[in-house]
Amino acid sequence: MYSVSVDNLIFGCRDGVLEIFLIQHAHGPASGKWGLPGDWIKDGESLEEAALRTLSTRTGITDIFLEQLHTFSSIDRHPEERVITTAYYTLIRPQDFATMAGSHELDARWFSVNQLPPLMYDHQHILQRGLLKLRQKVRHEPIGFNLLPAKFTLAELQKIYEAVLNIKLNKPNFRRKMLNMNLLIDCLEKQTGQAHRAASLYRFDQSIYNDLKTRGFVFEL
């Protein structure tokens, strides 16, 4: 026999570094170890609903980008029983998120994806796969905006891409590419409170993207 669970890869970005939210188990075979926040599936809910539940009970966030990554089913991935788990990934702003450990958890916090603690079970493997998927996805769908406030500058947006993809981008070319997509709305406002020229603020509107998509537009890089 087997049990079915979900695990969430919750990505965030701070100070130009891509981070992931992890929890530390208090009980069970992985006691003291860090891992992905997840839960058993309940009667009457789909896997998507279970993943959203584990996310929203911690953050209050609803209506967020959340996508299935993969289902992991190796016989021996859990030391005590057979657990089939479906992993989901999402992108949020750490600032919007009151991090707190659940009742069965010692601790909960963000880690840079470049400096991870040892992870329980096959969670390291799941994370690697999630990173790969995220880096593909972020280039082909406008999901990076989930890591930013509603209004943002082009420089902030560029930093997100540089952090997620772990590459350096050329500023003038990035600007043009983004603006030529006609995807961003100019807020007609300027940044305030910095010691140099203020940048224009833009915002992303999902319905504009949907509109463009029906006309054959494909987001790229």
Q: Is 71 in the site for its own copies (CB under 8 A)?
A: yes
In this structure, what DSSP letter does residue 152 have? Answer: B
Q: How far apart are CA 9 and CA 130, in angstroms?
A: 7
Binding range to DNA, per CB under 7 A, among 1-9, 98-106, 120-128, 193-201: 193-201
Q: Which of 89, 2, 93, 94 is nearest to 41 (CA)?
A: 2
- In the complex, minimum distance from the CB of residue 133 to DNA, in angstroms, rounded to a whole number: 22
Pick out residues in 126-145 that bind DNA (CB under 7 A): none
Q: Which of 46, 91, 93, 36 is nearest to 64 (CA)?
A: 91
- In the complex, minimum distance from the CB of residue 71 to DNA, in angstroms, rounded to a whole number: 34
Pair of tokens at residue 52? 């959203």
Binding range to DNA, per CB under 7 A, among 32-40, 45-53, 83-91, 171-179: 171-179
In 3-state terms the chain splits into helix, strand, coil percentages (rounded to 5) of: 30, 30, 40
Q: Is 73 in the site for its own copies (CB under 8 A)?
A: yes
Considering beta carbons, is residue 98 or 167 the nearer one to its own copies? Answer: 167
Pick out residues in 3-32 that bind its own copies (CB under 8 A): 4
Q: Which of 14, 26, 39, 47 touches its own copies by CB under 8 A?
A: 47
Considering beta carbons, is residue 196 or 215 the nearer one to DNA? Answer: 196
Q: Is 218 in the site for DNA (CB under 7 A)?
A: no
Q: Is 84 in the site for its own copies (CB under 8 A)?
A: yes
Q: Are strands 3-14 and 184-190 parallel, antiparallel or unpaired?
A: unpaired
Q: How far apart are CA 80 and CA 207, in angstroms?
A: 47
Among DNA, its own copies, none, partner that 166 touches (CB below 5 to 8 angstroms by kind): none
Longest dimension (CA), the chain: 63
Q: Which residues contact 57 (CB under 8 A, 6 or more apart)?
A: 102
Among DNA, its own copies, none, partner that 42 touches (CB below 5 to 8 angstroms by kind): none
Q: Is 198 in the site for DNA (CB under 7 A)?
A: yes
Q: Which residues contact 32 (CB under 8 A, 6 or more apart)?
A: 24, 25, 106
Q: Over the range 111-125, which residues count as b (16 or more CB within 10 Å of their CB) and which as e?
A: eebeeeeebbbbbee
Binding site for its own copies (CB under 8 A): 1-2, 4, 41, 43-48, 68, 70-71, 73-75, 82, 84, 86
Binding site for DNA (CB under 7 A): 153-155, 170-173, 175-177, 190, 194-200, 220
